[in-house]
Structure 1
Amino acid sequence: MGVTGAQSITSVILNSISDGVFTIDSDWRITFFNRAAEEITGVPREEAVGRFCWEVFRASICERECALKHTLETGCPVVNRAVYIVNAYGNKVPISISTGILRDECQQVIGGVETFRDLSLVEELRRELRGRYTFADIISKNHRMQQIFSLLPDIAESDSTVLIEGPTGSGKELLARAIHNLSPRRDKPLVAVNCAALPDTLLESELFGYEAGAFTDARRSKPGRFARAQGGTLFLDEIGDISPALQVKLLRVLQEKEFEPLGAVRPVKADVRILAATNKDLAELVEKGLFRQDLYYRINVIKITLPPLSERKEDIPLLVEHFIDRLNILRGKAIDGISEEALALLWQHDFPGNIRELENIIEHAFILCKGGLIKPEHLPAYLQAVADRPISGEGKTLAEMEARMIYEALVRNRGKRGLAARELGIDKTTLWRKIKRYGIKIPDSDF
């Protein structure tokens, strides 16, 4: 068979596969463009052949981190790297690419080859999956958070006072906003005040407002947060920090449904729903005499306790993906994701600052990462030091961490595979394969 015949057979084969394939010569001009490449890019073969590859492909890595250039310079192929291209219609298309070197019969380099696979369906399924774990802008697959999600519509529908407990940075204000947005008061204001940020005298006037002449320099009346939240919701953040004197005045508002601005001669009706939050144990403060018991019972009609991020580490990949997507839009960048090594470092961290700390870490990485994947060297220095420190009870690879997460889910569900799989968001057969792969001993198995 002649060379022309062999080339013809090769073309038939390459045009029959679903992956896009194109080749370039030493001048970076396209020499072959298969049928799947036409479909994925929207560029006809006759328009692609002979043009520079970056003019046709328009990938997120073309300008700074060309995969083919890396392969041709180092001899190392790129395998299944996730990037975006812009097709002929101006739409972003997620793909995975692999690269290789083309050599002639004498093993001389004559160009490169790149194959790429359309990940649009995978991306759609990924968004659908993430949607299962997203509730009113709160993202979590943790079983405790999922229980909170299931209760939120009923909690929002009521007009009862809600106490949200959780460590700093765990998302208390986001949860309060979700309750308000789901409630019948959603069309009225949600007004927030951080009780720990103001001294007692200022906090009182900030909450209740004042009349002109109530004190020196009060030349005109000023409505307080209660007045501004009329008909809506007032979110009292860090309520555990208010003084005993202010606790008495707040209790009266909750009991009488009215308040008095400073310098006023008559009370004002308060049609306001109260949502309170604290990073302290209010029950413990009550026992110590630092928080009024009657006020505690008034705000503790419904209590929601948010777990720290260290107790819901299965949410880290979801949250990282969310922050990357958001920052890509805000910063006009095209960061593809996070490397397995960097994600492993995040998983090993205890996150005393919780979700807020994780968001700051990803924002820090965005400054240092010019494109492609976020790697360990893009993370803050204190996280990079974790790699050299043994972590008690946890593996240092993603596989070890996944095995631990599966085992803990099985423990929580008393060994029931179906319940554990549902909690983890995976199919029961997938869970069984992972149990066998990692050699996990099923606790208290009763199925």
Structure 2
Amino acid sequence: MSPQRPKPTSTRPPITHVASTRRAHALVGAADSLKRLVQWIDKIALTDQSTLIVGPPGSGKNLAARCIHERSPKHAEPFIELSCGALPASFVDAELFGHVLGAFPGAFEERRGLLELVGKGTLLLDEVGDLPLAVQAKLVRVIDTRTFNSLGSFKDISFEGRIVATTRKNLFDAMRDGQFRADLFYRLSALTLNVPSLTQRLDDLPLLLAHFSFQQMRAISFTSAAVKKLSEQPWPENIRQLRDLVIQLSALAEHEHIDVDTLEPFLTAPP
């Protein structure tokens, strides 16, 4: 569970920013594709509707979800994240819905689920395509009726928050293969955000490099030739891969000013 963020001031800074700030949950860049994303985030944040965020791995889907929450009128409420593929199916069920004493073997005490703990805040279902089908069916009811039951209980509990889901998968393929429920997809995807890959926003490379460098104990900089070299690389893990590269360079590079010769060994794929 992610900790509740401190109550912000009444003035909300813009999401798109230059790399000289340390704002933890900001989207960095000025590419047209990012500007469109920010515009949609601002509009979606003012609603209470469930939202689906689609994009390749490491592109910033979870960051976009946090920005929706932080830009919303309920930004002081909890933001809770559940990694849908990280737990066994039975654990996901109990984690989301909670359980009463004796609901199943090992349920030695009553426990509130994330749907209740989130209150009027935002529940992020990270990689919703990994949710078990049985849990998907129960989520349809939550969205439709705004109520749910803890495991082992018939008492209705109100759900007052917003569900934001992310996926790297093609959910149309998953629906065709019987791995994702169409009714849940259409309830989540009425509002859909598409997060661009790094290759779709290469103009943002200098800003991103400066931003990640500023976060390190030893700041580094890049020659224009090094930036050009980076723009020619494949980025299967997108922004996350670029961030990890900057971390490596900051810790291990001999010089703080990174040229092509310094960069080359860090671009070599491991054997």
The equivalent of 1:351 in structure 2 is 235
Q: Distance in 1 between matches of 2:18 and 2:124?
A: 31
Cα distance, 1:183–1:383 mapped onto 2, change above 3 Å: same
Alignment check: 8 A CA contact 2:78 2:120 kept: yes
Q: Is the 8 A contact 1:364 1:379 kept in 2?
A: no
Corresponding residue for residue 277 of structure 1:
166
Alignment of 1:299-314 (within 5 A): 299-314=188-203
In the TM superposition, what is the alpha-carbon distance from 1:320 to its structure 2 partner?
Answer: 0.4
8 Å CA contact 1:361–1:380 kept in 2: the answer is no
What is the TM-score with the length of structure 2 in the denominator?
A: 0.86
Cα deviation 1:23-60 (Å, max 9, x = unaligned):
xxxxxxxxxxxxxxxxxxxxxxxxxxxxxxxxxxxxxx
* SS in structure 1 of the partner of residue 166 of structure 2: strand
Alignment gaps of 5+ in structure 1: 1-127, 386-447
Superposition deviation, residue 136 in structure 1: 6.1
Alignment partner of 1:245 is 2:134? yes
Partner of 2:148: 259
Are 2:246 and 1:362 aligned?
Answer: yes
Alignment of 1:173-252 (within 5 A): 173-252=62-141
Q: 1:158 pairs with 44, 47, 58, which one?
A: 47
Distance across 2 between alignment mates of 1:129 and 1:204? 41
CA distance in 2, matches of 1:194, 1:152: 22
Q: 1:342: Cα distance to partner?
A: 2.5
User: Whole-Å Cα distance in 2 between the matches of residues 182 and 290 of structure 1?
Assistant: 33
Amino acid at match of 2:79: L
Stretches of 4+ moved more than 6 A in 1?
Answer: none
- Structure 1 residues 179 and 233: alpha-carbon distance in aligned structure 2, compared to 1, 3 A threshold: same
Whether 1:372 aligns to 2:256 is yes
Letter in 2 for 1:222: R
Cα distance in 2 for partners of 1:347, 1:271 equals 44
For residues 294 and 309 of structure 1, the distance between their equivalents in structure 2, rounded to whole angstroms, comes to 32
Q: Is the 8 A contact 1:166 1:308 kept in 2?
A: yes
Amino acid in the other structure paired with 1:183: S
Q: How many residues align?
A: 252
State the SS of the aligned residue for 2:124.
strand
What is the rounded CA distance, in whole Å, between the counterparts of 2:173 and 2:74 in structure 1? 32
SS of alignment partner, residue 138 of structure 1: coil
Q: CA RMSD in A?
A: 2.2
Structure 2 residue matching 1:358: 3-state secondary structure: helix
Displacement after TM superposition at 1:204 (Å): 0.6
2:27 aligns with 138
* CA pair 188-306 structure 1, distance change in 2 beyond 3 A: same
What secondary structure is seen at the aligned counterpart in 2 of 1:201?
Answer: helix
Percent identity between the aligned chains? 34
Please tell me whether the aligned partners of residues 174 and 180 of structure 2 are also in contact (alpha carbons under 8 angstroms): yes
8 Å CA contact retained: 1:364, 1:380: no
Q: Which letter does structure 2 place at the counterpart of 1:369?
A: A
Higher helix share: 1
Alpha-carbon distance in structure 2 between the residues aligned to 1:135 and 1:218: 37
Q: Provide, for residues 172-222 of structure 1, a one-character-per-residue CA deviation record: whole Å limited to 9, x for no partner.
A: 110000000011111110000010111111111111111111122221111
Which one of the candidate residues 199, 223, 248 is aligned to 1:339?
Answer: 223
Q: Which has the higher contact order (CA 8 A, sep 6+)?
A: 2
In structure 2, the CA distance between the partners of 1:218 and 1:377, relative to structure 1 (3 Å rule), is farther
> CA offset at residue 296 of structure 1?
0.7
Gap regions ≥5 residues in structure 2: 1-16
Distance in 2 (alpha carbons) for counterparts of 1:234 and 1:381: 41
Structure number having the greater strand percentage:
1
Q: Give the secondary-structure state (helix, strand or coil) at the position aligned to 2:215.
A: helix
Match of 1:289 in 2: 178
Higher alpha-carbon Rg: 1
CA offset digits 1:266-319 (Å, max 9, x no partner): 121110101010001112322333211111110011000111112211111110
Pairing 1:56-67 to 2, within 5 Å after superposition:
none
Corresponding residue for residue 8 of structure 2 = none
Contact 2:40 2:193 in 1 (8 A): no
What is residue 318 of structure 1 aligned with on the other side? 207
For 2:193 and 2:74, the matched residues in 1 are separated by 20
Aligned partners of 1:384 and 1:343: how far apart in 2? 16
Aligned partners of 1:355 and 1:343: how far apart in 2? 15
